[in-house]
Amino acid sequence: MSQTNKYTQLNNGIKMPRLGLGVYKAQEGSEVENAVKFALAHGYRLIDTASFYENETGVGKAIKQSGVPREEIFVTTKVWNDMLGYEETLAAFEDSRKKLDLEYIDLYLIHWPVPGKFKDAWKAMEKLYKEGAVRAIGVCNFNIHHLEELFESCEIKPAVNQVEFHPLLVQKDLLQFCKDNNIQMEAWAPI
């Protein structure tokens, strides 16, 4: 698959594969492990999971068993709504890192813009980024007004906004806003 080796450069200089495997709804255990190992064996280098998916342990096992060097794999995970907040997000990150059994996460995302909580979660993510525990930080499902609200208090702009984006839902205004602010828009469920 020639497209699996194509990259985009994030606003902090990190290269992120343009194509990846999302493991939403993949069952923990052999189902997710086999899917990740198969994807990595066939050239995929981005694996997207989340604490909400409850399959981070299997993703981590598959990465270890794949034979692909860790530095070649771009791992994304996300903090869920009930763990948003400063201390909660730090704890959620450590839980995800432990389940994935990884020294660092390539991209850590806020899963949804829960009002009154996502700004504190973002401060925690900035701390994780500054400490080197994550290579990039970003958001999911943020609309323009959410991003503008985040910009009011953030030190580091999101590198990624992962949103629903496909031929039946083309969010042109959001795409342009992200381009104008050097935020990589990433599609979930694009096909």
Counting Cα atoms < 13 Å in the Cβ hemisphere of 34 gives 5
* Model confidence, pTM: 0.95
- What whole-number percentage of the chain has pLDDT above 70? 97
Place of tokens 């813009």: 113
- Give me the residues paired with residue 47 across strands: 21, 75
Work out the pLDDT band at 169, boundaries 50, 70, 90: confident
pLDDT for res 189: 78
Q: 1-15, 133-147, 162-176: which has the minimum mean pLDDT?
A: 1-15
Residue 2: is its pLDDT beyond 60? Answer: no
Q: Mean of the pLDDT values across residues 52-60?
A: 98
- Pairing status of strand 7-9 against strand 15-17: antiparallel
Burial 62-84, CB ≥16 within 10 A → b, else e:
bbeebebeeeebbbbbbbbeebb
Any catalytic annotation for residue 129? no
Residue 48: is its pLDDT beyond 70? Answer: yes
Work out the pLDDT band at 31, boundaries 50, 70, 90: very high
pLDDT for res 155: 98
Work out the pLDDT band at 53, boundaries 50, 70, 90: very high
∠ Cα 144 145 146 (to 5°):
90
Residue 97: is its pLDDT beyond 80? Answer: yes
∠ Cα 18 137 147 (to 5°):
95
Judged by phi (left if over 0) then psi (alpha if -120 to 50, else beta), residue 48 lies in beta
Q: Mean of the pLDDT values across residues 163-180?
A: 94
pLDDT for res 4: 45
Place of tokens 């925690």: 124
| Residue among 130, 44, 118 nearest 86 (CA) | 118
Work out the pLDDT band at 190, boundaries 50, 70, 90: confident
Q: Mean of the pLDDT values across residues 87-114?
A: 98
188 in Cβ contact with 22 (< 8 Å) = yes
Q: Mean of the pLDDT values across residues 86-109?
A: 98
Catalytic residue among 7, 24, 53, 104: 53
C-alpha span between 174 and 72 (Å, rounded): 30
